[in-house]
A and B are shown apart, each in its own frame.
Chain A
Amino acid sequence: DQQVKQNSPSLSVQEGRISILNCDYTNSMFDYFLWYKKYPAEGPTFLISISSIKDKNEDGRFTVFLNKSAKHLSLHIVPSQPGDSAVYFCAASGSGSGNTGKLIFGQGTTLQVKP
């Protein structure tokens, strides 16, 4: 069973517009969530995170929203730039993953930002 799900395999947006990537989780014991970005032939790199005690965290053009009651988080990128084209993974951690350090990853969403 997939505990962290990214139901949209791909997303295409125009440069300058907002990109919204979604992620759902099933285990209410998760208490920390992260987004990673991955370019082809490179390892994933950390982008932004949020603790379950917050419902929003912002870092420049990137904002993550957490809705605990819906077990849903989203990543907003405003404005989107062509360099944002990559695969985005959401990940969850906490006692729900059995160990504070372990991450459970979603399947990933490929974002294409068109010039």
Chain B
Amino acid sequence: NAGVTQTPKFQVLKTGQSMTLQCAQDMNHNSMYWYRQDPGMGLRLIYYSASEGTTDKGEVPNGYNVSRLNKREFSLRLESAAPSQTSVYFCASSEGYEQYFGPGTRLTVT
């Protein structure tokens, strides 16, 4: 089992460009999450999906959209990237309290 996979691992964007971060899990979990990690800020929840077909905003949703494509896949889209979105993005999945994380995507917006 691969667990939670994320693509790409690294990305550099110019301000105003768009991109989609992909996430997939093979653990048959119902819930999936997108976080961003910034120095001194811990992990902050951007969006989550409690089950296939549902999505909800987290703590810092502005500037992002998500799609729960099916039970396995949960994508995060930046429509018009801004330098403030420079961060490391983590996807996670869970079936209870314990969440399993992917390896992360390091995004730089110049």
Whether chain B is bound by chain A comes out as yes
Contact between A41 and B98, CB atoms less than 8 A apart: no
Q: Could you say which of B33, B41, B104 contacts A107, with CB atoms under 8 Å apart?
A: B41
Chain B residue numbers with a CB within 8 Å of A43 are: 4, 90, 92, 101-104
CB distance from B67 to the nearest CB of A (A): 19
Interface size in chain A (residues, C-beta < 8 A): 25
Chain A residue numbers with a CB within 8 Å of B42 are: 4, 6, 89, 105-108
**Total contacts A to B, CB within 8 angstroms?**
60
Interface size in chain B (residues, C-beta < 8 A): 26
Q: Mark A39-67, 1 if CB is under 8 A from B, else 0.
A: 00111111001000000000000000000
Q: How far is the CA of A32 from the CA of B4 in the complex (A)?
A: 23
For B4, give the chain A residue with the smallest CB separation.
A43
Q: Which 8 A-B pairs have the closest CB atoms?
A: A43-B101, A105-B43, A107-B42, A105-B42, A101-B31, A44-B101, A32-B97, A43-B103
Which B residues have a C-beta under 8 Å from some C-beta of A?
Answer: 4, 31, 33, 35, 40-45, 48, 50, 56, 58, 90, 92, 94, 96-104
Q: Other than the known A32-B97, A45-B101, what 6 A-B pairs have Cβ atoms closer than 8 Å?
A: A49-B98, A89-B43, A101-B97, A105-B42, A105-B44, A108-B42
